[in-house]
Amino acid sequence: MIIAFVVILILAVVILMSCIKIVPQAHAYVVERLGAYQQTWSVGLHIKVPFIDTVAKRVVLKEQVVDFAPQPVITKDNVTMRIDTVVFFQITDPKLFAYGVENPIMAIENLTATTLRNIIGEMELDQTLTSREVINTKMRASLDIATDPWGIKVNRVELKNIIPPAAIQDAMEKQMKAERERREAILRAEGEKKSTILVAEGQKESAILEAEAEKQSAILRAEAEKEKMIREAEGEAEAILKVQKATADGIRMIREAGADESVLRIKSLEAFEKAANGQATKIIIPSEIQGLAGLAASAKEVFK
């Protein structure tokens, strides 16, 4: 009897423990009662009715990432390429997620493939390769609308790789190589142009500096010549002043010595002689002293 009681007690404890459920963070449990949806348990402690309530589905509410295999698509200009996509989604309604579609991940994959084919089919190859952001935006909008009845919100869609055919890849590589060579030629030509311009500007600056130097040198030479002429003129003027001063001093001394008018006239004749300096071919003598020409010799003897 005691053993039976212990067994019943153990079974009751086990059943009670199995009825206590703890829902962790970022999770939700969908609970059914007798096979019908009863409620959705959020984070925390919950107790279910034994043998009647069951946890039908455990749902992760965190954002999830699914990387789908490359899908073959055909562009508007009939080029077949392969594109693989990455979808970021999050479950917003556990009940719709549990009862909306049988296999949500497979449904999203197929929906992504069909949506991608529809979008790429309206674009040409070059536009497809350069419009990733446009394709991502269109796909996210379409998938978000389609998955809303399943309790799923598509946050982002990214084109991971776009793989064109081998022939297209070779043509693209050749085109890129030609473009790089063209840019290199342009850069080299621009460099040579800039170098030529710099050399010409340098020569121009050099010529300007040489002309400026010549100008300054000419100015300095002219100033030096002018200074020389001024000094020579000042010297000649000073010499003339000294001669005139000496002549005036001589006449003053003669006057102070009591010489008469005849002696002064004779000294004037001597002054004319010095003025001629042996180089003049003609000397004009005033009439008042012409009569004294004969007395010049005797006057010289007196003043020796």
Q: What is the pTM of this model?
A: 0.55
| Structure confidence at residue 260 (pLDDT) | 55
Task: Report the alpha-carbon distance of residue 116 to residue 73 in Å, rounded.
Answer: 8
Whether 135 has a pLDDT exceeding 80, the answer reads: yes
Note the residue count of the chain.
304
**pLDDT for residue 304:** 46
Token digits for 34?
A: 């007798």
In tens, the pLDDT along 75-88 reads 888 888 889 899 99
Average pLDDT over residues 39-60: 90
Token digits of residue 29: 């449990």
Three-class SS state of 76: coil
Helix (H, G, I), strand (E, B) or coil at 94: helix
275 vs 146, which has greater pLDDT?
A: 146
What are the tens digits of pLDDT across the range 157-167? Answer: 999 888 888 87
The confidence score (pLDDT) of residue 60 equals 93
pLDDT band at 61 (very low <50, low <70, confident <90, very high): very high
Over range 149-158, report the average pLDDT: 93
Q: Could you report the per-residue pLDDT of 245-265, keeping only the tens digit for each?
A: 777 776 677 666 665 555 556
What pLDDT sits at residue 301? 46
CATH of domain 64-164: 3.30.479.30
Does 48 score more than 90 pLDDT? Answer: no
CB atoms within 10 A of CB 58: 14
235 vs 75, more confident: 75
The beta-carbon contacts of 216-224 under 8 Å, at least 24 apart in sequence, are none
Q: Give me the residue spans of the domains in the chain.
A: 2-60, 64-164, 262-304
Q: Is the pLDDT of residue 16 over 60?
A: yes
| C-alpha span between 170 and 88 (Å, rounded) | 33
Instruction: Give me the chain's average pLDDT, please.
Output: 81
Share of the chain above pLDDT 90, in %: 26
| Residue 237 pLDDT exceeds 70 | yes
